[in-house]
Structure 1
Amino acid sequence: MVEHLSAPPVLSTPASHILNDTEDVHPVTDVLSDEQICVRYEIQRTIAEIRQQRWRRVALQFPDEMLSHSARVYQLLARGLKPPDVPNGPKTSEGVPANEINGLADLSLTDKDLEPVKLTILADTSYGSCCVDEIAAEHVDADAIIHYGRACLSPTARLPALHIFTRRDLDHEAALSAFQKAFPDHAIRVIITADVPYESHVASLAASLGSRGYTAIFAASIQHDPSSSIPNRTVPASVASDPSSLSSWHIFHISDPPTSLLLTLTSSVASIFVYPTNREAMVSDSSAALQRSTGLLLRRRYALITSLATVSVWGILINTLSVKNYLSMVEYVKQQIANAGKKSYLFVVGKINAAKVANFSEIGGWVVIGCWESSLIDSKDFYKPIITPFELDLALQPDTGRIWTGRWRADFSSVMQAAEDNEAMIEAVETEHPVEANTGSEDESEPPEFDLRTGRYVARTRPMGQPKGVLTNGNDTAPTPTQALTKRSNGEVVSVNGIASPAADFLTRNRTWRGLEIKYDRDEDDHGGLLEEGSTGIAAGYSLGDSAKI
């Protein structure tokens, strides 16, 4: 039967729908009582720390999935941080001074202690939610930051931070059963680790396994050291003295770890078993630990590195402004790219997405400066690949010197340390066995480069490669930079301050739109076009002058 419609069906949502939609973007997943909120968010510990440090302006940083609890956490903290009464102040109905109830009777109170504590909720962080957002906290003139939820534990640069990992419950019997199925041998060496919300269960699980006959169990605790053999975790004494011995240990990890941690550990340990804590996995099989392997992902990362070997223009994306010493890493990356004869441009774009970086089509590849968790970005949806500083060092190596050992590191401090050790070794070798300087021409000594993906010759992989010098009066001197812009015969800028500009060259060769052109700069008789009124209003409906909304 054919149904006759009196009007065409509505196939799109009205433009004003988003202004009237009341659906919660982040629905409440856990309905908790005040007592459960106090336990999960460690209210008493937070209050004690704020009082001990005498912070007066505190920023509370929540990830998106915890914003539904932020108001209640704020209320409980504000209630517990009310200024205490002075010793001779009002008393309770039992005749006890009110300040004694708060446990402050033995403290010497100052005027600063009697000032109220200002709390501010931070949401929509500038970069990743795992990092402490010092930028947003400084906007509210905060003395310190309370960071909730998962954290990369990278050291901060300016403000003190207190990490509240938000404790989560764990079925110990199910976890113990999963461990016994994964490791039936009681003499096997296993390190128990967990995601930060479940870290409080590690020690008790290790003790329970010891009582069941396991003799080589190590319970890793949290430490603020991303460059450790196991990032931000303690390691056995044997591993601390000899990091290579970590390959004889197995890992049992509670909850799904970040991909960067898996890549770091896969090449360092014997095996990794992950006990999932998400509800879907627990419903399917609550007593199974899954063995994880990142061999395929590592091969994809290496293929990505080799595809960027012939990139001539790099973009450096700053994905943090809080991690300590990130500026040193920026300078290191810039120097590495310059030493390879390539050009780099620095970008600060906030949270990285494909639309932002696609605006810079002259960039052949991107390198991210961020914390050890957020530096690894799956760039399959991006216009150009995005890699880490560790991977950049491999990409800049010549094809004959690039060696892939399978090891992978995310923390940039370890990358800088490895580079310093390598330079020290090279200097020692050159001191013992001096190498004669190459006096040949730069062009003749440069080997040809080929794109391994296409097999084609690449002519301009080092646009910033400077000649060794110009012979002047018998002396080999470098060209003197000038402060003027260099122009071609048609007036197009090709260099700035005597240095070639690949972006300017790309602008003249490839870009179809070069910005607004002011005609009267070139022709005095042409005074440009008339100014016209543009669109006004809001995104739900613009108006063009006196016309109707569009």
Structure 2
Amino acid sequence: MTNYQFNIHQILNKIREQGAKIVGLQFPEGLKVHATELAHKIEDETGAMVLISGDPCYGACDLSDNVMEGMVDLLVHFGHTPLPIDYKVPTLFVEAHYQLESMEILKEALKFLEGKKKIGLVTTTQHLHFLEDAAHFLEENGMEVLMKAGVGTLPGQVLGCNFSSVQDLPVDAFLYMGSGNFHPLGIKLSTQKPVIIADPYLNQARNIDEFTDRILRIRFARITRAKEANKFGILISSKEGQCRWELAKDLKKMIYNEGKEAYLIFMNEINPPSLLPYMDLDAFIVTACPRIAIDDSKMYKKPLLTPQELEIVLGRREWEDYEMDEIKY
């Protein structure tokens, strides 16, 4: 079972400081199990009323502030750090720290880093607090650790839509601390450097290369199929941190200039049922969260493409220049 720690005193102090009478709580899926426990403690300690957001949440780009505006005095958002966008209600961002029980996973990762001297150390929000210990461990083993801040990110932090903290970093390899393959895939494609994963959830170290090859084969198949498309749907998110309206309009013009049809579709939640009314279209372009087209593609009957993949479909980009989609804040 995962072990997360919240700074409850930070939350209580902020509520008292704001004099908040109604407090909204928002969690990503993996942390929703803590919602009622924290709500009980907040109401018991402060007397404020708590409103829990039950909607899916995918990051700091996806706050409930637009829905809760006028309902809550303060929104407490767990598990992410703020992005440089305007939030509609006062928002406290609370990091959810995963507690690493030992450094054994880093010892495993050393086997994959043999011969590498300069290491870029990277992670996501929930693991930022032990980057310092990890850096010290690597340095004790004769390596030089490099980290830098990105656009809207802290040193060593990557988002699912933003890999600016790893780009142009002069390292021999990257060590990613965290779960899953999407973030290290983005690091690999953004830098073309070796990426080793130290996964504290699976207690496993691995190289991203095998997964990268498999994903690129899947993407190539989607792109090849979309080359036969004549009618495209361009999906635009109503979530403020994911809405790329100008990009969507540019893509529509690009498709039109190739003699094909394109339709702009504005929605809050992109999922298979939401696209069912548009099955007369041949393919869809996702201008919302870049993860949707990559992580969820097998759920859709029609190809879901990123804007960069559309460029390949239309002959405006070579396959050899494939890159991940990013949201530039």
TM-score normalized with structure 2 length: 0.82
Structure 1 distance, partners of 2:229, 2:157, is: 32
Counterpart pick for 1:332 among 238, 244, 250: 250
Structure 1 distance, partners of 2:93, 2:181, is: 18
Counterpart pick for 2:319 among 386, 390, 404: 404
For 1:116-127, list aligned pairs within 5 A: 117-125=48-56
For 1:60-459, list aligned pairs within 5 A: 60-82=25-47, 117-125=48-56, 128=58, 131-138=62-69, 141-149=71-79, 151=80, 154-159=83-88, 160-185=90-115, 188-210=117-139, 212-219=140-147, 224-225=152-153, 231=159, 235=165, 243=168, 246=170, 248-259=171-182, 261-267=183-189, 268-278=191-201, 281-282=202-203, 288-293=204-209, 294-323=212-241, 326-397=244-315, 401-413=316-328
- DSSP-derived class of the 1:147 partner: strand
Shift of 1:349: 4.6
- DSSP-derived class of the 2:278 partner: coil
Structure 2 distance, partners of 1:269, 1:317, is: 29
- State the Cα RMSD in Å: 3.3
Shift of 1:75: 2.4
- DSSP-derived class of the 1:172 partner: coil
Structure 1 distance, partners of 2:165, 2:297, is: 32
Structure 1 distance, partners of 2:303, 2:144, is: 42
Give a deviation string over 1:129-156, Cα, whole Å, max 9, x none.
Answer: 6632334323x6334432223x486544
Shift of 1:191: 1.3
Cα contact 2:153–2:165 (8 A) shared by 1: no
| Larger-gyration structure (1/2) | 1
Structure 1 distance, partners of 2:103, 2:327, is: 39
Structure 1 distance, partners of 2:142, 2:66, is: 47
Shift of 1:215: 3.8
Structure 2 distance, partners of 1:375, 1:163, is: 27
- DSSP-derived class of the 1:214 partner: coil
Cα contact 1:41–1:167 (8 A) shared by 2: yes
Residue 222 and residue 301 in structure 1: after superposition, are their counterparts in 2 closer, same or farther (change >3 A)? Answer: same
Cα contact 2:83–2:152 (8 A) shared by 1: yes
Shift of 1:55: 5.3
| Greater RCO (Cα-Cα under 8 Å, separation 6 or more) | 2
Residue 118 and residue 229 in structure 1: after superposition, are their counterparts in 2 closer, same or farther (change >3 A)? Answer: closer
Which structure has the highest strand share of the two? 2
Residue 234 and residue 54 in structure 1: after superposition, are their counterparts in 2 closer, same or farther (change >3 A)? Answer: farther
Cα contact 2:239–2:268 (8 A) shared by 1: no
Shift of 1:217: 1.1
**Structure 2 unaligned residues grouped into runs of 5+:** none
Residue 152 and residue 390 in structure 1: after superposition, are their counterparts in 2 closer, same or farther (change >3 A)? Answer: farther
- DSSP-derived class of the 1:70 partner: helix
Residue 277 and residue 229 in structure 1: after superposition, are their counterparts in 2 closer, same or farther (change >3 A)? Answer: closer
Give a deviation string over 1:9-68, Cα, whole Å, max 9, x none.
Answer: xxxxxxxxxxxxxxxxxxxx67x9xxxxxx812111223344556655432112333333
Shift of 1:202: 0.8
**Structure 1 unaligned residues grouped into runs of 5+:** 1-28, 33-38, 83-116, 283-287, 415-550
Give a deviation string over 1:460-496, Cα, whole Å, max 9, x none.
Answer: xxxxxxxxxxxxxxxxxxxxxxxxxxxxxxxxxxxxx
Structure 2 distance, partners of 1:44, 1:330, is: 43
Structure 2 equivalent of residue 110 of structure 1:
none
- Which letter does structure 2 place at the counterpart of 1:59? G
Shift of 1:312: 1.7
Residue 153 and residue 345 in structure 1: after superposition, are their counterparts in 2 closer, same or farther (change >3 A)? Answer: farther
Which structure has the highest helix share of the two? 2
Structure 1 equivalent of residue 12 of structure 2:
47
Task: Judge which range, 67-76 or 216-225, deviates more.
Answer: 216-225
Structure 1 distance, partners of 2:76, 2:197, is: 29
Structure 2 distance, partners of 1:152, 1:374, is: 21
Shift of 1:190: 0.8
- Which letter does structure 2 place at the counterpart of 1:306? T
For 1:16-31, list aligned pairs within 5 A: none
